[in-house]
């Protein structure tokens, strides 16, 4: 009877404990683990099991020692044996250190070489040209002076600044503005180039027709002048034909104007955007520069 009473008392105490604090029994031997990263696009492993990307929160993990590592593009940039106490929260911050970046770069030799080959640069050059003139005067004779007499010299000079810039790819190859616009996706410049080329193609076609008509008129006028007793009308036709032929040939030989499609500042901004996108594609850090 006494044993039955003791068992009943134990059962009542057990149920009271469960209702008052159920987690104190079921959560015994666990803690929480949080992993945050300053580095983007990394995989987080706990005890060699992939548990998430960039940020992980494990609310119930067995207390004790756990092996935590962070991997970026197949390269381990962080690894540590972490202790998780019972009923407590452990937080890990994966920082972007110079050592971690060096480890990533050392494993990406081919990507670095490809970036160097495709990287765009804008090179500026400035030159100064000075033009001057001087004249010596005297009171003896206008424009002349005596080597024994008194005279004076008047001089003036003007300095001109010339600025030019080039687009270089891979550090060695100069590319055209049209190639640059295609690489950076400058649709506005590409549209202007297409419109200009179309206009000059139409002008060349018109010039070919004008020159052909002028040539026919020249031959007809010359023939009429030779066959007619009054050659004046034939010579007039021949003259207009020659003028038309020359004008048509000038229209055919016209070419689009040569010059940069954008300003140096705009080109530098577009080149920087292209280079940053290229780094992201190759998996290189944004701060990487060869």
Q: What is the pLDDT of residues 258-289, one digit of tens each?
A: 678 888 889 989 999 999 999 888 877 777 77
User: pTM value?
Assistant: 0.51
83 vs 21 pLDDT, higher one: 83
**Which pLDDT score is estimated for 20?**
45
Residue spans of the domains in the chain: they are: 19-103, 117-169, 176-264
Structure tokens given for 138: 């005297």
| pLDDT at residue number 149 | 54
Res 17: pLDDT = 53
Instruction: From 137, 158, 157, select the one nearest 146 (Cα to Cα).
Output: 137
Residue pLDDT, tens place only, 2-35:
555 555 555 555 555 555 444 444 445 889 999 9
One CATH from 3.30.70.100, 2.60.40.10, 3.40.190.10, 1.10.3210.10 for 19-103: 2.60.40.10
Average pLDDT over residues 244-270: 83
Q: For position 72, what pLDDT does the model report?
A: 79
Q: What is the pLDDT of residues 118-166, one digit of tens each?
A: 999 988 876 666 666 666 555 555 555 555 555 556 666 676 655 778 8
Q: Is the distance from CB of 111 to CB of 282 less than 8 angstroms?
A: yes
pLDDT at 21 (0 to 100): 45
pLDDT over 50 (residue 233): yes
What pLDDT digit, counting tens, does each position of 180-232 carry? Answer: 999 999 998 888 888 888 888 888 889 889 889 888 888 888 888 788 777 77
217 membership: H or E segment, kind and range: helix 187-227
DSSP string of 221-257, one letter each residue? HHHHHHHSSSTHHHHHHHHHHHHHHHHHHHHHH--PP
**Contact indicator for 137, 145 with CB cutoff of 8 Å:** yes
Which residue did the predictor score with more confidence, 197 or 246?
A: 246
Looking only at the bridges linking them, the beta strands covering 64-72 and 43-46 are antiparallel
* C-alpha Rg value of the chain to the nearest Å: 42
| pLDDT of amino acid 231 | 78
d(CA 60, CA 29): 9
Q: What pLDDT is stored for residue 274 in this prediction? A: 93
């Amino acid at each position: 009877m006494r044993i039955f009473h003791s068992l009943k008392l134990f059962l009542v105490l057990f149920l009271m404990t469960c209702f008052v604090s159920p987690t104190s029994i079921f959560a015994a031997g666990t803690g929480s683990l949080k992993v945050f990263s300053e580095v983007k696009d990394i995989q987080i492993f706990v005890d060699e099991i992939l548990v998430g990307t960039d940020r992980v929160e494990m609310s119930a993990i067995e207390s004790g020692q756990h092996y935590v590592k962070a991997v970026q593009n197949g390269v381990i940039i962080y690894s540590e044996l972490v202790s998780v106490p019972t009923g407590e929260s452990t937080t890990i911050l994966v920082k972007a250190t110079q050592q971690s970046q060096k480890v990533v770069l050392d494993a990406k030799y081919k990507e670095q070489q490809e970036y160097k080959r495709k990287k765009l640069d804008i090179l500026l050059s400035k030159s100064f040209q000075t033009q001057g003139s001087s004249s010596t005067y005297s009171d003896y004779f206008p424009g002349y002076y005596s080597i024994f007499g008194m005279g004076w010299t008047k001089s003036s000079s003007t300095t001109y600044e010339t600025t030019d810039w080039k687009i270089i790819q891979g550090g060695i190859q100069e590319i055209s503005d049209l190639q640059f616009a295609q690489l950076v996706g400058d649709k506005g410049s590409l549209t202007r180039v297409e419109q200009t080329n179309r206009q000059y193609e139409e002008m060349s076609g018109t010039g070919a027709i004008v020159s052909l008509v002028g040539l026919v008129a020249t031959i007809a006028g010359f023939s009429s002048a030779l066959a007619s007793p009054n050659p004046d009308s034939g010579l007039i036709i021949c003259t207009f034909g020659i003028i038309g032929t020359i004008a048509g040939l000038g229209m055919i030989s016209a070419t689009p104007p040569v010059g940069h499609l954008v300003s140096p500042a705009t080109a530098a901004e577009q080149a920087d955007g292209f280079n940053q996108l290229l780094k992201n594609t190759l998996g290189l850090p944004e701060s990487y520069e060869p």
